[in-house]
């Protein structure tokens, strides 16, 4: 039996919304042995387990009657380097942004557009994190996960992860797979992705015509710092809703009433709409109910001004969802994981 479990631990420091709920039990796990031990102990004590990383994609609506197991494993290694392509492996508990910076310091490109995303390496495949035109699937080389049903280790290929927009096989089967370590295919030569948002413009303002991967990362960090609230100052979980993908006929119908509709045609004929734009058109930008609110500059970001509960934030989210459905006939799906 593990003696490492703490009881009745406030999760406020462990979720970026800063929601003050308690975990019945809490433990950090640093390696595979500790992971297996904690899971075995929990099974023996008939306590459910919630695995977390950095808590940057969670909405906690009540005390967690479980063992909250925080991934604290560390380690980054280069597995192969053929002079062009480099396979790097990182442990699940590695904080994401420092890992990106480490890869850039090695002269390796591939992760630069994913700079400054909070959280851990192990959670990154969960929703196929993405930013500025790149998703983790674009640099993915495999991962090792523990099957919590059988206790067996399993290697996942790109296809087996079933990555899609903010989705994966891991997200589809919550609680089944515990991701232990992830491998990335990086490169000594950058293939620049500069056409999403103001990245190219920011670089040219700085007089950089031939950017390095570090230049791209720096530009994206500065854009993100301007655009997104820092969870240390204002609790949030980044984008709260996914951008909805709808039938082209529905997009056309909305455009009749809102000629400025922000819409991106997809390969399958459907159309991706900007959730933030819909929310802004509906008048929610800057809306506040107690300490739960919609950010005053970013309609896609729900914020905790201090003492909001997860339930209050969830209720606000549900009101927004109902309003967007009524106005536009569009269903908004939440991005953070609700507990
Ligand atoms: C300011 C801000 C900006 C953000 N920007 C972006 C962005 O640009 N793009 C983007 O995609 N996301 C973004 N996010 C969301 C978030 O950072 C990512 O989803 C991140 O990958 C979550 O990592 P985490 O370690 O904090 O996961 P957590 O919030 O701790 O967990 C998320 C989910 O993954 C599960 N989980 C965690 N670790 C493991 C593991 N090792 N094995 C199995 N399951 C696990 C948890 O049970 C939970 O269901 C942003 C969040 C914030 C606060």
Q: Above pLDDT 70, what percent of the chain? A: 99
List the structure tokens of 51. 């695995």
pLDDT value for 197: 85
pLDDT value for 19: 98
Annotated active-site residue in 166, 181, 183, 202: 166
Supply the pTM of this predicted model: 0.96
List the structure tokens of 118. 């909070």
Q: Measure 22 CA to ligand 1 centroid, in angstroms.
A: 20
Is residue 239 annotated as a catalytic residue, yes or no? yes
Contacts 24+ apart (CB under 8 A), 193-200: 193/113, 193/132, 193/133, 193/134, 195/133, 196/113, 196/132, 196/133, 197/132, 197/223, 198/223, 199/113, 199/132, 199/223
Name the nearest CA neighbour of 226 among 210, 250, 202, 255: 202
Is residue 253 annotated as a catalytic residue, yes or no? no
pLDDT value for 3: 52
Span 304-312, average pLDDT:
98
DSSP E strands in 93-242: the ranges are 130-131, 134-135, 140-147, 153-156, 177-187, 235-236
Q: Is residue 1 over pLDDT 80?
A: no
Q: Measure 253 CA to ligand 1 centroid, in angstroms.
A: 35
Mean residue pLDDT across the chain: 96
Q: Measure 146 CA to ligand 1 centroid, in angstroms.
A: 18
Atom of ligand 1 nearest to the CA of 118: 17
């Amino acid at each position: 039996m593990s003696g490492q479990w703490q009881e009745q631990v406030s999760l406020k420091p462990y979720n970026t919304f800063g929601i003050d709920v308690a975990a019945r039990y809490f433990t950090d796990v640093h390696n595979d042995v500790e992971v297996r031990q904690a899971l075995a102990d929990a099974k023996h004590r008939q306590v459910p387990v919630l695995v977390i990383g950095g808590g940057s994609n969670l909405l906690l609506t009540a005390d967690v009657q479980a063992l909250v197991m925080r991934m604290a494993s560390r380690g980054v290694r280069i597995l192969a380097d053929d002079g062009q392509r480099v396979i790097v492996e990182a442990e699940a508990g590695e904080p994401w942004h420092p890992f990106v910076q480490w890869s850039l310091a090695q002269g390796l490109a591939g992760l630069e557009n994913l700079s400054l995303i909070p959280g851990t390496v192990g959670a990154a495949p969960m929703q196929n994190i993405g930013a500025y035109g790149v998703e983790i699937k674009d640099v993915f080389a495999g991962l090792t996960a523990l099957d919590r049903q059988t206790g067996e280790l399993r290697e996942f290929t790109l296809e087996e992860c079933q990555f899609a927009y903010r989705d994966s096989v891991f997200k589809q089967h919550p609680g089944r797979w515990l991701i232990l370590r992830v491998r990335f295919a990086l490169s000594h030569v950058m293939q620049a992705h500069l056409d999403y948002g103001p990245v190219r413009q920011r670089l040219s303002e700085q007089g950089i015509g031939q950017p390095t991967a570090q230049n791209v990362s720096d530009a994206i960090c500065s854009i993100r710092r301007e655009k997104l609230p820092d969870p240390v100052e204002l609790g949030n979980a980044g984008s709260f809703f996914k951008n909805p993908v709808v039938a082209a006929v529905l997009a056309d119908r909305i455009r009749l009433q809102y000629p400025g509709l922000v819409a991106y045609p997809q390969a399958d004929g459907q159309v991706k709409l900007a959730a933030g734009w819909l929310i802004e058109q509906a008048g929610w930008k800057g809306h506040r109910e107690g300490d739960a609110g919609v950010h005053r500059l970013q309609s896609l970001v729900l914020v905790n001004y201090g003492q909001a509960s997860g339930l209050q934030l969830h209720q606000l989210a549900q009101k927004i969802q109902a309003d967007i459905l009524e106005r536009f006939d569009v269903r908004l799906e939440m991005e953070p994981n609700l507990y």
